[in-house]
């Protein structure tokens, strides 16, 4: 993934436990759980709200970790 362009959400799927997972353009996935009070993402439970997020930028934690590793080697 280019460091100049943040990935976008391509779609969603559910894991084996029924939690929602965002599928990202960088090739990674990210769980988006709604488990108040720890994680408040009620929008993931609504199909219309999930659809609104498709195509939007998403800061991928996996890509950030890879970039940190790359910077450590410089």
10-residue stretch averages of pLDDT, the chain, 74 residues long: 75 96 96 89 95 96 77 58
The reported pLDDT for the residue numbered 34 is 87
The reported pLDDT for the residue numbered 19 is 93
The reported pLDDT for the residue numbered 73 is 58
The reported pLDDT for the residue numbered 2 is 45
Among 25, 20, 27, which Cα is nearest to 9's?
25
Q: Residue 11 is encoded by which pair of tokens?
A: 């779609």
The CA distances from residue 12 to 26, 52, 56, 63, 68, in Å, are: 14, 11, 13, 18, 27
pTM of this structure: 0.79
The reported pLDDT for the residue numbered 72 is 59
For tokens 């759980």, name the residue: 33
Q: Where are the domains of the chain?
A: 9-72
């Amino acid at each position: 993934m280019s460091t100049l362009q943040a990935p976008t959400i391509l779609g969603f799927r559910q894991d084996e436990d029924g939690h929602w997972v965002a599928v990202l353009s960088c090739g990674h996935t990210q769980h988006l759980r709604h488990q108040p009070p720890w994680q408040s993402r009620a929008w993931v439970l609504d199909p219309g709200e999930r659809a609104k997020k498709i195509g939007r930028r998403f800061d991928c934690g996996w890509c950030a970790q890879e970039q940190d590793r790359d910077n450590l080697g410089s």
